[in-house]
Amino acid sequence: MSAEPLPAGHAGSLGELVLESALMSIFALHPNSTVRYANPAAISLFGYPLDDLRGRPVHELIHYARPDGTSNPFEGSPVQIALRDRKRCFLESVVFFKRDGTPVPGDCMAAPLLDGDRVVGGLLMIRDLSDRWRDAASYADKMDAVERVAGGVAHDFNNLLTSIATRASMLTRKLADPDLAADAREIVEAASRAAQLTDQLLTFARKRILRIEPVLLDPLIARARPLLEPLLGDDRLLTLELGAPGLVVEADRSQLEQCLINLTVNAREALPRTGELCLRTRPIDIDGRPGVELAVADDGIGMTAEVAARACEPFFTTRSAPGRSGMGLATVRGIATQLGGSIRIDSDVGSGTVVTVQLPAASE
């Protein structure tokens, strides 16, 4: 069934209805980037009456500064690119400002309005991300509280384990009954396994003392390959794409190796009997300073957005097999954070997973 054509003159009213009802902030601009029209969502979000917006440069009104307060020039902005180059420009996770100076995080897209080859104006569309940023801040506060609790519990528990292991070890030497001595050895071994878990908790909580030294990341990964390949298994392929030669990070060498092991084991669980795991490095810029990025990519089953969002939480696991503590990625997160870095997980069900760790490079 084909749609009936709109009556003459109705297209304009429909377009106005769409603009007036849109939840996204929309500005219609003159070719010189001054405001011609703003929809109710834009007026409500930014706090300007329409009469105060008309005829004024939109960039100076809402995008005049960067988040750190420094000047944000019009040159190179999405609006300038759209009007000058006649093409759409999309920018993610930027900060705008309300009339009262309150920052507004958002994504934006600018597009030219063309009459043939002539630019007759432009559109600026802004999606408010305030709720998403508040959720992220709340999650960060929650994780900070978990870290403090985990660190305190792990420290106290580690002291108890040391006492248990010491006394059990003494019993193994003093007990004449071999069965009782064997039981005492089991206690020692159990305490040792528990101590490893508390060590991971301390690392996650950033309370473990690290031996920091300059480490060349690419050679460290290359040397770790013989250790990582058996963890994957014979039918899974490990490839290295090391693109950060000479880049040095200030880190605990053993903890970096632990990160590689944890990331490899985590990927193995997502891979079928065959599959590929690729470790890639490259130099990056972190807030104007040199850094290095390690991306661990697998072509496994992937994960949902909900699982990816919680994957770095301590004790979170989707696997019920014995021995799964749920501390693998949490430990990586703790190490990366303690070194001034970060971790990010990108994944889609059926399309594999990429875990990205970014670390600042050592200062020369």
H-helix or E-strand spanning residue 179? helix 178-204
* Residue 359: closest CA among 261, 230, 143, 212: 212
Burial class of residue 52 in the structure, from the number of CB atoms within 10 Å of its CB (0-12 exposed, 13-18 middle, 19+ buried):
middle
H-helix or E-strand spanning residue 249? strand 248-251
- Exposed e or buried b per residue across 207-242, where buried means at least 16 C-beta atoms within 10 angstroms of its C-beta: bbebeeeebbbbebbeebeeebeeebeeebebebeb
Which amino acid, 86? Answer: R
Rounded distance between C-alpha atoms, residue 208 and residue 258, angstroms: 14
Collapsed DSSP state (helix, strand, coil) of residue 283: strand
Q: β-pairing, 35-38 with 118-128?
A: unpaired
CB distance 232 to 346 below 8 Å: no
H-helix or E-strand spanning residue 4? none
Angle in degrees, CA 264, 305, 272, rounded to 5: 40
Rounded distance between C-alpha atoms, residue 353 and residue 300, angstroms: 7
CB distance 130 to 64 below 8 Å: no
Q: Which are the contacts of 348, defined by CB distance < 8 A and separation ≥ 6?
A: 302
Question: Residue written as tokens 């792990």?
Answer: 154
Of 119-123, 133-137, 234-238, 267-271, least confident by mean pLDDT is 133-137
- List, in order of start, the domains of the chain with CATH numbers: 10-128 (3.30.450.20), 133-204 (1.10.287), 213-360 (3.30.565.10)
What are the C-alpha distances in Å from 42 to residues 23, 38, 72, 124, 214?
A: 9, 6, 20, 10, 50
CB distance 267 to 277 below 8 Å: yes
Q: Each residue of 137-192: pLDDT tens digit?
A: 454 555 555 555 555 555 556 666 666 777 777 777 777 777 787 877 778 777 76
Q: Each residue of 220-242: pLDDT tens digit?
A: 999 888 888 888 877 889 999 99
Q: Is the pLDDT of residue 244 over 80?
A: yes
Q: Is the pLDDT of residue 40 over 70?
A: yes
pLDDT on residue 100: 85
**For 296, left (φ over 0), alpha (ψ -120 to 50), or beta?**
beta
Q: How far is C-alpha 125 from the chain's CA centre?
A: 25
* Residue 260: closest CA among 331, 319, 212: 331
Q: Each residue of 41-91: pLDDT tens digit?
A: 999 999 999 899 999 999 888 876 665 566 778 888 889 999 999 888 888
